[in-house]
Amino acid sequence: MSVARRATGWSAGLAVALAGVVVVSAGIGPVPVPAETALKAVLGAIALPTISGGEVVWYHPFEFSLRSSHRAIVMRVRLPRILLGALVGFALGAAGTVMQGFFRNPMADPSIIGVSSGAAVGAVASIVVPASIPFGLGLEPAAFAGALLTAFGVYAIATENGRTPVATLLLAGVAVQTFLGAVTSFLLLQSGESMRRVVYWLMGHLDNAGWADFVPVAGVPVLPLFVLGCFVVLLAYARDLNVLLLGEEEAAGLGIEVERTKRLLLAVSAVVTGAGVAVSGVIGFVGLIVPHVMRLVVGPDHRILLPTAAITGSAFLVAADTAARSAPQELPVGIVTAAVGAPFFLFLLRKRRVHEL
């Protein structure tokens, strides 16, 4: 079977599973919504953009008559949170896959070059010492800026004469993460009354999500488009990523512009991870485990692995967040992903199936 057909088949199957998870999740909560109603409400939320008179007008192909309370709960409360989780999971799954392939290292995850710790410093600083943030940026932009600055800094530290050895990058990332961890801890000590908010952000969370988190500009949600755009770029480089797995020298011999490709993969992964972390905080293990599991299922070919890991990341984070908000006391989703993910990872490790990428 050709790669394209395998990729499409797997992706379609997993997309159906994701849709299932979304609908089930939309039905779960303090006010139970029957499955059929949840399905109708989700379908009713589907909107296609049309341009009319120079303005974007959303056309809803499915309209059902539902109890307005149910519709409001699904549309205003649950669906934004679910879709945000799906988006962040998608970003982390994709970026994690790329980073593991890029570093040829099973311990790599989306924050390996310090993106998450940079975002954490930005976010925590904006909570604890808002005055320190230039231009009076809000929490999300500050986190995003912190992520990008850190990624760029790590890259610059590890680059010499236009070459960026992967091992140097990895070590520089670890060192900078440690340093920024110290900065975050220090800020945490100074946080006083806002400490709870800081800790909550650091743990990774999706609560209080609303449609505003999708960064609508003129009625168009920019964040999903941005993440999808990055994903398409990464997908276009999936074949190069395969060849890079053979080693950089081999890849160069096979016609890959190694340094340029590495730069692009790093930049796009950092940006997409930064965007995800900025809106959700540090959610661990999704970008580490999901690519591993999918590699066991579909093999190492990134043309198949990348889309399937992204969609699975989506479904996993939505499911984990559903569990997080269904707990007697609502938990940050980062706790759930780590609590579920780490033992599963150890299980795979003991089964000796994750020794290779």
Residues found near other proteins in the complex (CB under 8 A): 2-4, 104, 236-237, 239-240, 242-243, 245-246, 249-250, 252-258, 299-301, 356-357
Q: Which of 49, 98, 85 is nearest to 231 (CA)?
A: 98
Q: Which is nearer to other proteins, 240 or 321 (CB)?
A: 240
CB of 49 to other proteins, least distance (A): 25
Q: Cα angle vertex 24, ends 19, 27, to 5°?
A: 130
- Single-letter code of the amino acid located at 334: G
Q: Which is nearer to other proteins, 54 or 255 (CB)?
A: 255
* Size of the chain in residues: 357
Whether 114 and 153 have beta carbons less than 8 Å apart is answered as: yes
Q: Which is nearer to other proteins, 238 or 275 (CB)?
A: 238
Q: Which is nearer to other proteins, 250 or 330 (CB)?
A: 250
| Integer Cα distance of 91 and 221 in angstroms | 16
CB of 157 to other proteins, least distance (A): 21
CB of 21 to other proteins, least distance (A): 29
At residue 138, φ and ψ (nearest 5 deg) are -75, 180
From the CB of residue 305, how many other CB atoms can be counted at a distance below 10 Å?
Answer: 28
CB of 228 to other proteins, least distance (A): 17
What residue has token string 């943030």?
A: 133
Instruction: Give Cβ neighbours of residue 205 (< 8 Å, ≥ 6 apart).
Output: 280, 281, 332, 333, 334
CB of 271 to other proteins, least distance (A): 20
CB of 297 to other proteins, least distance (A): 12
Instruction: Give Cβ neighbours of residue 226 (< 8 Å, ≥ 6 apart).
Output: 272, 275
Q: Which is nearer to other proteins, 24 or 233 (CB)?
A: 233
Q: Which is nearer to other proteins, 197 or 303 (CB)?
A: 303
Q: Which is nearer to other proteins, 193 or 249 (CB)?
A: 249
Crossing angle of helices 286-298 and 302-326, in 10° steps, is 130
From the CB of residue 356, how many other CB atoms can be counted at a distance below 10 Å?
Answer: 9
Q: Which is nearer to other proteins, 55 or 249 (CB)?
A: 249
CB of 250 to other proteins, least distance (A): 6
| Integer Cα distance of 111 and 266 in angstroms | 11
Q: Is 231 exposed, middle or buried (0-12, 13-18, 19+ CB in 10 A)?
A: buried
Q: Which is nearer to other proteins, 302 or 325 (CB)?
A: 302
- Over the Cα atoms of the chain, what is R_g? 20
Whether 26 and 79 have beta carbons less than 8 Å apart is answered as: yes
Whether 156 and 176 have beta carbons less than 8 Å apart is answered as: no
CB of 356 to other proteins, least distance (A): 6
CB of 208 to other proteins, least distance (A): 40
